[in-house]
Amino acid sequence: SSSIFAAVEMAPRDPILGLNEAFNADSRSTKVNLGVGVYFTDEGKIPLLGAVKAAEKARLEAAPARGYQPIEGLAAYNKAVAELLFGKDSALISEGKTITIEALGGTGALKVGADYLKRLNPAAKVYISDPSWENHRALFESAGFTVENYPYYDAATRGVNFAGMKACLASLPAGSIIVLHACCHNPTGADMTDAQWEEIVAVCQARGLVPFLDMAYQGFAEGIDADAVAVRAFSKSGLQFFISSSFSKSFSLYGERVGALTIVTASKEEAGRVMSQVKRVVRTNYSNPPTHGGAVVAAVLASAELRQQWEDELAGMRVRIREMRKALVEKLAERKVAQDFGFVMKQRGMFSYTGLSAEQVERMKTEFGVYAVSTGRICIAALNSKNIDYVADAIAAVLK
């Protein structure tokens, strides 16, 4: 008798996790992994933030019992998330129009949101930016949606093809779900201006589109409030919309899976009904979220002292990324590469879309052990004072 798995095919490797496996198997001591989406310190380590450490110590000492959380997670956490997104004095919050549930990272928030949207409007199509975070398409397809692209990146200007994007959105049927990167676009680093966001809000309003803002990097571009510009612009509009947010990067809590799904509704009464339905999605999936990560984030955000420490540490990460951008541009100029890499300074967040071709990326890997995504995306937050000269050498070499 043959196994029930006899005909199972091998699924394709996740492109980025596959890159990590290849990197780990590389024996060269000079190797550098720029393929990841993780912030590293100048020592090349994933930081454990001081504010997190302090909150964890207090939690360990308090030795709380590990009962179940409510389906929607910790109330104090959800409140703190909403205040980061909308601002402390948001009318949406005081009027009770928003709901937030603690989710398993930004990915978990997207998945719960996608599953709920499929129940709300099964016929809708989902539109993601071209290009986008590689999991967006798979995630919404796995919820049963057809996923299409809207134009986003313009390789010629290395910025946003705003006219193309706007024209596409303006042609979509009402109810279409539009996934937007709220800040620090992954993979391109190209964000819209504040004025362009206002125009996108107006198009969504005019066409009856359903915006789904994905904010995985709040605080990595300009600061906590400045990076919430898209959320704030939609908040003023009176539209209903979805937000997935994540503390993986901003709290360096990747493995604790701390994120949130937030939904803006038209009224407090409506919010109650929507919450009841979202809870059904969660209940039949993972029942309720884990306790630790959310409790730590809530404790940091509730303490004036720890919150200040976190904001300082977040600013430190943001500043170091900017320094690495500047250093990379300077070091490539010193190596007399033909192109001007000044655009790297304008890109925001952890990544740079370098414009390197798949062949050049392959050469960096084989000749130098410098690993990047085949699209030419590199993680600026993986550069440091010790590896940046070597990386600049590698880039300059493959450009010649």
> Which residues of the shown chain bind ligand PLP in the complex (CB under 6 A)?
37, 105-107, 133, 181, 186, 214, 216, 246, 248, 259
CB closer to ligand PLP out of 72 and 214? 214
DSSP state of 322: H
Please, is 184 exposed, middle or buried when counting C-beta atoms within 10 Å of its C-beta (0-12, 13-18, 19+)? buried
User: Which residue number, 158 or 181, has a Cβ lying nearer to ligand PLP?
Assistant: 181
* Residues annotated as catalytic (active site), given as ranges: 133, 214, 249
Name every residue whose Cβ is closer than 8 Å to that of residue 68 and which is 6 or more positions away in sequence.
287, 288
Closest to ligand PLP by CB, 278 vs 350, is 350
Q: How far is the CB of 248 from ligand PLP (least distance, A)?
A: 4
d(CA 214, CA 217): 9
Taking the least distance from each CB to ligand PLP, the nearer of 13 and 386 is 13
Give whole-number Cα distances, 191 to 171, 181, 222, 351, 362, in Å: 22, 8, 12, 12, 27
Per-residue CA distances from 343 to 87, 190, 329, 356 (Å): 31, 10, 9, 13
> CB 28 → ligand PLP: shortest distance, Å?
26
Identity of the residue, 82 or 179, whose beta carbon is nearer to ligand PLP in the bound complex: 179
Q: How far is 359 from 348, CA to CA, in rounded Å?
A: 25
Q: What is the dihedral of CA 183, 226, 213, 36, to 10 degrees?
A: 30
Q: Residue 373: how many CA atoms within 13 Å on its side-chain side?
A: 23
**Shortest separation between residue 150's beta carbon and ligand PLP, angstroms:** 15
List own/partner pairs for 91-94 with CB under 8 A and 24 or more apart: 92/235, 92/264
Q: Which of 18, 238 has the CB closer to ligand PLP?
A: 18
186 versus 309: smaller Cβ distance to ligand PLP: 186
Contact (CB, 8 A) for 393 and 368: yes
CB of 184 to ligand PLP, least distance (A): 8
Q: How far is the CB of 82 from ligand PLP (least distance, A)?
A: 17
Q: How far is the CB of 133 from ligand PLP (least distance, A)?
A: 4
> Which CB atom, from 37 or from 219, has the smaller least distance to ligand PLP?
37
Count other C-beta atoms under 10 Å from residue 89's C-beta: 8
Measuring CA to CA, how many Å separate 66 from each of 31, 60, 292, 365? 42, 12, 9, 46
Whether the Cβ atoms of residue 170 and residue 208 lie closer than 8 Å to each other = no
Q: Which residues of 131-142 are buried (b: 16+ CB within 10 A; e: fewer)?
A: bbbbbbbebbee
In angstroms, what is the minimal distance from the CB of 214 to ligand PLP?
Answer: 5
d(CA 49, CA 284): 34
Instruction: Provide the minimum distance between the beta carbon of 299 and ligand PLP in the complex, in angstroms, as a whole number.
Output: 19
Closest among 309, 390, 359 to 382, alpha carbons compared: 390
Alpha-helical segments (H) within the chain: 15-25, 50-62, 75-86, 91-94, 105-120, 134-142, 162-169, 194-207, 229-237, 268-283, 292-302, 304-334, 343-346, 358-363, 388-399
Residue at shortest CB range from ligand PLP: 105
